[in-house]
């Protein structure tokens, strides 16, 4: 141990940096999510008591894991049903722990794949990932996902019970399973990110801290599992996140990509995103996240909205739609065609969409309204904006659509939004 005195602030910094790794290993060693969480807290309480007197351990994470592990064994032994809960337990095995850095990193991957297991519902995967991998409190997650804390707490309890009762394996999938399981993990990370930028309802459309958690999670995954689509997802999120300060004006009103002040974009994050994209592109086959990152890169590197390479963006959307033929991608592709060719061409593409898939999607009607406005069909644009407004739930989006309607009534004030 180091003889230098340790401050509470230093221990809190170690908690922020190491707690998820410590927890992941404790879950493996104790085979119990809730017990591991309790022992994690007990280990850091012990550190707050001992480290200021004895100094910082040479390997703080190993010290915390060993301490938490011993506390967990004590808890189990105090239970009359210890053998039922942990039939593998013997006195010698209980205290054996090898502080191997590679094993601890593997435990992070095990935890991530367990939180994102397909046996759990999608929203449960998101909540469990935020709780266990990002370390957010139940109250923080409930606020981010717009749920009641008590309801969310019960969901997390049920998820952990299901993991235990269904004997969901705490491991990284074998190489032959990984291609099927990895997309689920990436999807959950991207859902976390999108929750930060597309809140489902309410006054605020952005929760930048939540998006930041997703980026940190993807960054850890990229270090632990260097796969092309992991790099692609990280590139995509960094490129999108770089525009956060330009998405709304000083009063909180939404701004379109054309309206954004590109001087507010974070160039360091654009550079990071481009670097990850450069690593992703040679790793074939190129997947949907890498394609979306390539689209985001075209926007991020264009000197201005008018100089955007829409021809390349349409080609990328063509490739993306072949992989994921969804209504949302088709909608974005139609808008890109409108920007490449003409508003009328974009409207033709929108008219080809499956109406059933987009009829209740407010962004479809908003896009259609904008293209109708650009063609001069003010009455048609008005009806489409009114339909979009009736479907939108986010208050900033509703205000944006209402402003567009007002601009239709005052042609002199209109901008090419």
Complete DSSP assignment for 189-256: HHHHHHHHH--SSBS-S--HHHHHHHHHHHHHHHHHS--HHHHHHHHHHHHHHTTGGGSB-TTS-B--
Angle between helices 208-224 and 228-241 (to 10 degrees): 160
pLDDT score, position 81: 55
Phi/psi of residue 256, each to 5°?
Answer: -75, 170
Give the domain ranges of the chain: 8-99, 309-359, 360-417
**Looking at the domain covering 8-99, what would its CATH class be?**
mainly alpha
Calpha distance 360→365 (Å, rounded): 9
pLDDT score, position 416: 42
pLDDT score, position 177: 84
Calpha distance 229→281 (Å, rounded): 9
- Closest to 327 (Cα-Cα) out of 366, 280, 361: 361
Q: Which two tokens stand for residue 42?
A: 């007990």
Angle between helices 33-54 and 60-78 (to 10 degrees): 130
Does an H or E element contain 50, and which?
helix 33-54
- DSSP letter (8 states) at residue 305: G
Question: pTM of the prediction?
Answer: 0.80
CA distances from 325 to 49, 105, 321 (A): 57, 36, 5
| Residue that is written with structure tokens 């958690």 in the block | 213
Strand partners, 202: 394
The 10 Å Cβ neighbour count of residue 144 is: 21
Strand partners, 55: none
CA distances from 146 to 142, 195, 203, 397 (A): 6, 10, 11, 17
Low-confidence ranges of the chain (pLDDT < 70): 1-4, 80-104, 198-207, 410-417
Q: Report the C-alpha dihedral over residues 37, 38, 44, 48, rounded to 10 degrees.
A: 160
């Amino acid at each position: 141990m180091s003889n230098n005195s340790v401050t509470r602030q230093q221990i809190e910094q170690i908690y922020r940096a190491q707690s998820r790794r410590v927890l992941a290993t404790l879950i493996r060693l104790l085979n119990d999510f809730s017990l591991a969480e309790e022992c994690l807290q007990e280990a850091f309480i012990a550190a707050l008591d001992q480290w200021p007197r004895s100094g910082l351990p040479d390997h703080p994470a190993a010290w915390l894991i060993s301490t938490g592990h011993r506390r967990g064994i004590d808890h189990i032994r105090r239970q009359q049903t210890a053998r039922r809960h942990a039939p593998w337990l013997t006195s010698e095995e209980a205290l054996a722990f090898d502080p191997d850095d590679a094993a601890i990193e593997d435990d992070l991957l095990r935890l991530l794949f367990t939180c994102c297991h397909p046996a759990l519902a999608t929203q449960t995967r998101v909540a469990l990932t935020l709780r266990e991998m990002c370390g957010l409190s139940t109250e923080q997650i409930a606020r981010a996902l717009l749920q009641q804390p008590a309801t969310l707490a019960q969901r997390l309890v049920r998820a952990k019970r299901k993991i235990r009762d269904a004997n969901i394996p705490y491991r990284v999938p074998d190489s032959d399973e990984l291609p099927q399981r990895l997309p689920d993990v990436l999807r959950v990370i991207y859902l976390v990110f999108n929750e930060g930028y597309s809140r489902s309802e309410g006054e605020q459309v952005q929760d930048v801290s939540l998006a930041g958690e997703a980026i940190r999670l993807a960054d850890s995954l990229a270090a632990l599992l260097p796969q092309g689509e992991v790099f692609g997802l990280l590139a995509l999120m960094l490129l999108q996140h770089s525009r956060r300060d330009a998405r709304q004006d000083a009063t909180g009103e939404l701004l379109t990509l054309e309206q954004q002040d590109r001087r507010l974009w974070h160039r360091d994050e654009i550079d990071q995103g481009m670097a990850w994209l450069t690593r992703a592109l040679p790793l074939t086959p190129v997947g949907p996240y890498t394609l979306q990152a390539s689209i985001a890169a075209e926007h991020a590197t264009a000197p201005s909205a008018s100089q955007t390479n829409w021809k390349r963006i349409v080609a990328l959307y063509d490739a993306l739609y072949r992989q994921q033929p969804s209504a949302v991608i088709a909608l974005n592709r139609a808008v890109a065609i409108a920007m490449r060719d003409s508003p009328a061409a974009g409207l033709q593409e929108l008219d080809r969409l499956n109406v059933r898939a987009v009829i209740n999607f407010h962004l479809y009607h908003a896009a259609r309204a904008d293209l109708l406005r650009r063609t001069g069909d003010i009455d048609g644009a008005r009806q489409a904006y009114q339909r979009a407004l009736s479907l939108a739930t986010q208050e900033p989006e509703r205000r944006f659509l209402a402003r567009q309607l007002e601009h239709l009534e005052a042609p002199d004030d209109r901008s090419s939004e």
